[in-house]
Chains A and B, each alone.
Chain A
């Protein structure tokens, strides 16, 4: 395992901000939080490409009273309690496993993987003419009890 760099590439800085921004355009069902002040957890599965940038970005931020927390997972089972899960460079088998594992949970799944949407993921980052674009599978999100803002859906390629 290669140690994550402290300063991620520009691309991942943007993605980190995007991950944070998702919290503003997505609504989670109330039962996904134990309490009113329960943290909203942004999880990173697999290798951490953001370094400390992501946790710095969300540091001290609150969404609807939920403080934002970043957690790093290496096991799918651990990731069940998070709200956003960034799945980094998964192997296809791993990916399917992760997605099926989280299917019944209200977790917004995000990944760079090129087949992420086909495999049942919710938001896939694309790089298009040097810009990061989004592919969104709103059906999947809806099935998981998540409400994605129409404004965000507009941006889906």
Chain B
């Protein structure tokens, strides 16, 4: 349809105008056609009447061979401007008189004794017998132009154009008024729908104009809006409740965490004092009464001292772990190459080992320097510790960028672990190996996870028993931000 994209008002208007225009044109055409045929008949009857009169008047002229009289009679046709030619024939068909004087005689047809009328070459031709007392004295020929028809049709045409124009105008104004009954409800419905979708305002309602299909449509539309509105409200209130709950829980959680931290801090702190006493008195015992004690006594004293030392380490780790929760991180640019190198050197100073440590070029970081240092200490010393048992231990450190993160990995070829328990690795006091096998407090990896998580990063690991382990941590690539 041509009107596919035009507004509905114009569509309606066009439909109305097209229909009324078509009906009017058809009516006018039918009327003009009817008039055309009746007027032709009328013309024939008029010319016939005129002819009868002329023929009747011409009888004496023909009977008494008076051409003058005949010409006079024919000259009366002057009064009838549509009659352009006439001829009077005698009994034998010879031309007796003609009209008008200047007429070219060869333009007249030969006589016909019958009465007949026909349209030809844009003229109406007529033949009539000239009769007197039932005796035919000759015949009359008349030729009329169609000017009357044309003039009449010109008039009809003008009237038709005027009528059509007036009617179309009337139809236009009427349709302007009447189409509102259809288009206004639709348009207001459309406007409401538009407003709803653009403002996302589901409290709007479409006005209803009547109990027709459009009215029902408006009702349905409003019902839909109502449903959406109430559902929206439900969702919103549900969301609000949910948020509130989450906030509450988060607060509770934070509080619990804080309590836990301060508890563990004070516990570890308070544990130190008695431990120091144990240690101090053990040392006094060793120094002052070492000679008094027999071998078994000295061995037991060493066990006490070792365990006290181990407990001290445990407390230290616990303290640093819990301290981390209370401390804010101070971010700065960290050259990882230098950091890892110094960590390696520090470890080698305190713990002699056989491992070959390969440090690949590392990406720099923006992070808390001391915390990252702690992470690298833990990971690197773990790697060295757990690879100590193999023939030629190798520890590798490298980093790379992946999916907007900087990933660091520390890999060893040592004891490894069963991947099934990988989840337990990073838990506090969670150990996959016994203390006899490898020394440790079970806090190191938990600390690593805590530090990296605080930086917004992730930790994970990969391992296989006796084939080594790889520990990864990743931080958001800050260079891009």
Contact = CB atoms under 8 A, between A and B. Distances in A.
Given A63-B133, A151-B57, A24 B69 contact: no
Contacts of A131: 65-66
A24 B133 CA distance: 6
B60 interface: yes
Contacts of B69: 154-155
B321 to A, nearest CB: 150
Given A24-B135, A25-B132, A63-B133, A152 B60 contact: yes
A133 B65 CA distance: 9
A149 interface: yes
Interface in A137-157: 149, 151-152, 154-155
A123 to B, nearest CB: 10
A64 interface: yes
Given A154-B69, A155-B69, A64 B133 contact: yes
Nearest to A64: B133
Contacts of B133: 24, 63-64
A156 B64 CA distance: 11
A25 to B, nearest CB: 6
B59 interface: yes
Contact of B60 (A63, A133, A154): A154
Contact of A155 (B56, B66, B132, B135): B66
Contacts of A133: 66
B15 interface: no
Interface residues of A, number: 16
A39 to B, nearest CB: 16
Nearest to A63: B133
A135 interface: no
B61 interface: yes
Interface in A13-35: 14, 18, 21, 24-25
Interface in A63-120: 63-64
A25 B63 contact: yes
A151 B59 contact: yes
A132 B67 CA distance: 11
A133 B61 CA distance: 11
B131 to A, nearest CB: 10
A24 B64 CA distance: 11
Interface string A33-75: 0000000000000000000000000000001100000000000
Contacts, number: 37
B412 to A, nearest CB: 150
A151 B131 CA distance: 13
A122 interface: no
Contacts of A18: 63-64
A14 B63 contact: no
A103 B367 CA distance: 163
- In this complex, the member of A18, A24, A63, A149 whose beta carbon has the largest number of chain B beta carbons within 10 angstroms is A24
Interface string B57-78: 1011101111001000000000
A155 B57 CA distance: 11
B135 A152 contact: no
Contacts of B65: 14, 131-132
Nearest to B72: A154
Nearest to B133: A24
Interface in B34-76: 56-57, 59-61, 63-66, 69
The residue among B56, B61, B64 with the most chain A CB atoms within 10 A of its own CB is B64
A56 to B, nearest CB: 16
A107 to B, nearest CB: 20
B135 A134 contact: no
A132 B201 CA distance: 113
B70 to A, nearest CB: 10
Given A24-B135, A63-B133, A149 B64 contact: no
A134 B135 CA distance: 22
Contact of B64 (A63, A64, A134): A134
Nearest to A152: B60
Nearest to B57: A151
A124 to B, nearest CB: 13
Nearest to B63: A21
Contacts of B61: 151, 155
Residue of B59, B60, B132, B135 contacting most chain A CB atoms (<10 Å): B60
Nearest to B135: A24
A155 to B, nearest CB: 5
A9 to B, nearest CB: 16
Given A18-B64, A155-B64, A155-B66, 17 more contacts: A18-B63, A21-B64, A24-B63, A24-B132, A24-B133, A25-B59, A25-B132, A63-B133, A131-B66, A132-B64, A151-B56, A151-B57, A151-B60, A152-B60, A152-B64, A154-B69, A155-B61
24 contacts: A18-B63, A18-B64, A21-B63, A21-B64, A24-B59, A24-B63, A24-B132, A24-B135, A25-B59, A25-B60, A25-B132, A63-B133, A64-B133, A131-B66, A132-B65, A134-B64, A151-B56, A151-B57, A152-B60, A154-B69, A155-B60, A155-B61, A155-B64, A155-B69
Closest 8 CB pairs of A and B: A151-B60, A21-B63, A24-B133, A24-B132, A152-B60, A155-B66, A155-B64, A155-B60
Interface of A: 14, 18, 21, 24-25, 63-64, 131-134, 149, 151-152, 154-155
